[in-house]
Amino acid sequence: MISMSTGRDDPGLRQLLSDELDRINEAAIASDDETQLSIRALGDDGALIGGIVGYTWGGCGGIESLWLSREHRGQGLGARLLAAAEAEIRRRGCDRVVLSTMSFQAPGFYLKCGYEEVGRLPGMPGGTTKHFFSKRLQP
């Protein structure tokens, strides 16, 4: 008989599922080059004021999170962080970037940075929409 249990965070299960899905993905895509990506922006005092985390895999880069402290928004730092991520993604041999953002976050920012909206998922919590973007990188 199969039993199931429900819980909250389960780091062991999270890692096991990730490992198993990685094996399936690597077999299907014939690529095992997934590499994490991180970029930190530090203030003069060494405090974190922004950053990006993501990955590269199989010729594609992904931005999972881009964050800036409130007082540093609107000053071009987000575009500089994104450009640095794109440069590193390109250096790793990738020709495109994918990412998603919520309607209350930064869809306009990504459009200004040359990203193309490739999908939307309306009806998210609070009546928001999730936006999906892609950008081809020039060699």
Provide the number of structural domains found in the chain: 1
User: Is 93 within a domain?
Assistant: yes
Residue range(s) defining the domain that contains residue 113: 31-136
- pTM, two decimals, is 0.86
pLDDT tens digits, residue range 67-125?
999 999 999 999 999 999 999 999 999 999 999 999 999 999 999 999 999 999 999 99
Does 17 map to a domain? no
Q: Concatenate the DSSP letters of all residues of the chain into one string.
A: -------S--HHHHHHHHHHHHHHHHHHHT----EEEEEEEE-TTS-EEEEEEEEEETTEEEEEEEEE-GGGTTSSHHHHHHHHHHHHHHHTT--EEEEEEETTTSHHHHHHTT-EEEEEEEEEGGGEEEEEEEEEPP-
Position 94 in a domain: yes
**Does residue 4 lie in a domain region?**
no
Q: What is the pLDDT of residues 26-35, one digit of tens each?
A: 888 877 788 9
pLDDT of residue 31: 78
Mean pLDDT of the chain: 94
Place of tokens 């899905």: 21
Tokens of 139: 């060699």
- Which CATH number fits the domain that encloses residue 46? 3.40.630.30
Amino acid 33: pLDDT: 85
